[in-house]
């Protein structure tokens, strides 16, 4: 495998060409049932195959949630490996939503699983947790740089429980979330057109003007669709950084399956609405 351009560069180009949208691949039991599929490996395979065949050629970014594949054991991981390979072969970028976080050799092993170019689960980016200290992510940061990949670090998440940690105030007066954003800005300093180290920032959080979101990197924004946020909300949440937002939609698109045309129409509609909101900001 030849060396890749940095993830931030590839992400900027993909969003400009295909539209600013990330579709989550979340094959949970209730969604499989809604598609008329059994909650078993055959249902998982059919669901994943339909999403890949319908959307891989037009959507910029996909975010598989690894837990929904891991619950089927090695057979589920095999389905995920094939999906990652085929999504990337079709020109889409894959953000593996695994939220890994640990220290030392364990963090290095997680990084090798998802960020080493020879791994069957090699992804364009990985979600990670910094709550063992941002410095614990160094093995992932280093391997991502080496292989042209990126990270999305949990900073200001959409779940209500996150506030008790992320909004906690440190001795220096900054919140934990702001500290994470500061580290990412340093990682991305001087990178063009976009740095490769992004933050996860919920689209449902309302006015975030007290936070400096200008990290020169992407902002992965869950919460669009089923969680209540809309593309029109993005400028109010992200302000001047809205052009770097990667809005994630899962159920808002996937509920239109298994009809391929319905999936494509939903994805195109969300991408168009995001573009319109960004252009009007």
Mean pLDDT of the chain: 96
Amino acid 225: pLDDT = 77
pLDDT-based confidence at 227, cuts 50/70/90? Answer: confident
Backbone angles phi, psi at 156, to 5 degrees: -135, 85
Q: For residues 9 and 109, what is the distance between their CA atoms, to the nearest angstrom?
A: 26
Structure confidence at residue 116 (pLDDT)? 98
pLDDT at 281: 80
The predicted pLDDT at position 2 comes to 54
Q: What does the domain layout of the chain look like in residue ranges?
A: 7-276
pLDDT digits (tens, 9 = 90+) for 141-164: 999 999 999 999 999 999 999 999
Asked if the model's pLDDT at residue 108 lies above 80, the reply is: yes
Tell me the helices (H) and strands (E) count for the chain, helix number first.
12, 8
- Domain 7-276 class, CATH top level: alpha beta
**Which residues are annotated as catalytic?**
99
Signed CA dihedral, 122, 143, 187, 162: sign only: positive
> What percent of the chain has a predicted confidence (pLDDT) above 70?
99
Q: Are 124 and 88 in contact (CB under 8 A)?
A: yes
Q: Give residue-wise pLDDT tens across range 109-129.
A: 999 999 999 999 999 999 999
Contact partners, residue 23, CB within 8 Å, separation at least 6: 51, 55, 59, 61, 62, 63, 248, 249, 250, 253, 254, 267
> Which residues lie closer than 8 Å to 74 by C-beta, 6 or more apart?
none
Model confidence pLDDT, tens digit, residues 48-99: 999 999 999 999 999 999 999 999 999 999 999 999 999 999 999 999 999 9
pLDDT of 228 strictly over 90: no
Of 43 and 227, more confident: 43
Q: Is the pTM of this model over 0.85?
A: yes
170-184: pLDDT as tens digits? 999 999 999 999 999
pLDDT confidence bin for 267, thresholds 50/70/90: very high
* Mean pLDDT, rounded, for 7-18: 98
> Quick one: tokens of 136?
């614990």
């Amino acid at each position: 495998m030849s060396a890749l351009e940095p993830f931030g560069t590839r992400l900027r180009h993909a969003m400009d060409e295909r539209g600013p949208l990330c579709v989550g691949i979340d094959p949970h039991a209730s969604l499989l049932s809604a598609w008329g599929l059994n909650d078993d490996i055959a249902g998982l395979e059919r669901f994943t195959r339909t999403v890949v065949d319908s959307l891989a050629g037009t959507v910029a970014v996909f975010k598989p949630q690894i837990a929904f594949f891991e619950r089927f054991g090695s057979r589920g991981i095999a389905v995920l490996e094939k999906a990652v390979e085929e999504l990337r072969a079709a020109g889409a970028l894959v953000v593996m939503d695994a939220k890994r976080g640990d220290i030392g050799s364990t963090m290095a092993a997680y990084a090798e699983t998802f960020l080493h170019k020879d791994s069957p689960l090699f992804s364009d980016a990985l979600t990670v947790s910094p709550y063992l200290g941002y410095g614990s992510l160094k093995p992932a940061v280093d391997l991502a740089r080496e292989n042209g990949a990126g990270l999305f670090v949990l900073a200001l998440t959409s779940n209500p429980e996150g506030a008790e940690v992320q909004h906690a105030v440190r001795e220096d007066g900054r919140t934990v979330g702001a500290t994470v954003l500061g580290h990412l800005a340093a990682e991305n300093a001087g990178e063009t057109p976009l740095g490769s180290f992004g933050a996860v920032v919920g689209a449902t959080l309302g006015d975030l003007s007290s936070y400096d979101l200008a990290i020169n990197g992407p902002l992965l924004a869950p919460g669009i669709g089923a969680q209540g946020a809309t593309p029109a909300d993005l400028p109010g949440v992200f302000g001047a950084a809205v052009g770097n937002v990667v809005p994630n939609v899962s159920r808002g698109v996937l509920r239109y399956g298994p009809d391929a045309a319905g999936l494509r129409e939903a994805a195109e509609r969300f991408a168009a609405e995001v573009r319109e909101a960004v252009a009007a900001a």
